[in-house]
Amino acid sequence: MATAEVPEHARSYAAAARRAVDAGFDGVELHGANGYLISQFLSSNANLRSDRYGGPVAGRIRFAVEATAATADAIGGAKTGIRLSPGGTFWGVEETGVLELYTALLRELAGLDLAYVHLEATVDEEVLLELRRRWPGTLVVNPTVPMGPKQTGRTEADHWLGLGADLVSFGRAFIANPDLVERLRTGLPLAPVEEATYYQGGDAGYVTYPAYQHTA
């Protein structure tokens, strides 16, 4: 994208959010993680721009801030969240100076009165704890949750709640466990996800997982 084109793409998040709210959704979460567009701008190896959207930290966070600000302006900060994966290496993206990068980003986002920031546990716990201290609003943490016959997910959730997260999210665990809430409530083991079925189309691996089968 040419420099002049970038703001249009930042505003496209706001346009999509406005349509979602008009359709009845309560709010939106910008996907700023996992190698998607916002994440690419944050990246130190994907973002090789030499204009105001690249280079130093202030440039690399600019697109994320503009996209989030436009969305909050369109539908209200209370209906806007953003998901981030500090230090994540999805699809080959890399980030240098993770703490500096995300501290600067959170500082800019703090003025938008967002509903929350959603952090994946993709970096050392010490960094996440420092980001918790530097984010004044609601924080959602998506922990790494091992799944199998002895894993319940409660340990990881309680750990992060004890460290200051306001909420804990689950992704893969929810795919493989349609009754995840009940399993968490009662301490039942989590079924493992079948990663070979990812992005293959059809029902297999998405709506084919059973609820927990109690045995007599």
Cα distance between residue 62 and residue 54, in whole Å: 8
In single-letter form, the type of residue at position 30 comes to L
In single-letter form, the type of residue at position 169 comes to S
Residues in Cβ contact with 48 at an 8 Å cutoff, skipping those fewer than 6 apart: 54
Quickly count: other Cβ atoms within 10 Å of residue 24's Cβ: 6
Show the beta-strand stretches assigned E in 49-108.
80-84
Helix (H, G, I), strand (E, B) or coil at 31: strand
Q: Catalytic amino acids?
A: 36
Distance of CA 105 to the CA centre of its chain: 14
Quickly count: other Cβ atoms within 10 Å of residue 84's Cβ: 26
Structure tokens at 183: 């399993």
C-beta of residue 152 within 8 angstroms of C-beta of residue 184 = yes
Q: Which of 169, 62, 157, 158 is nearest to 116 (CA)?
A: 169
C-beta of residue 184 within 8 angstroms of C-beta of residue 157 = yes
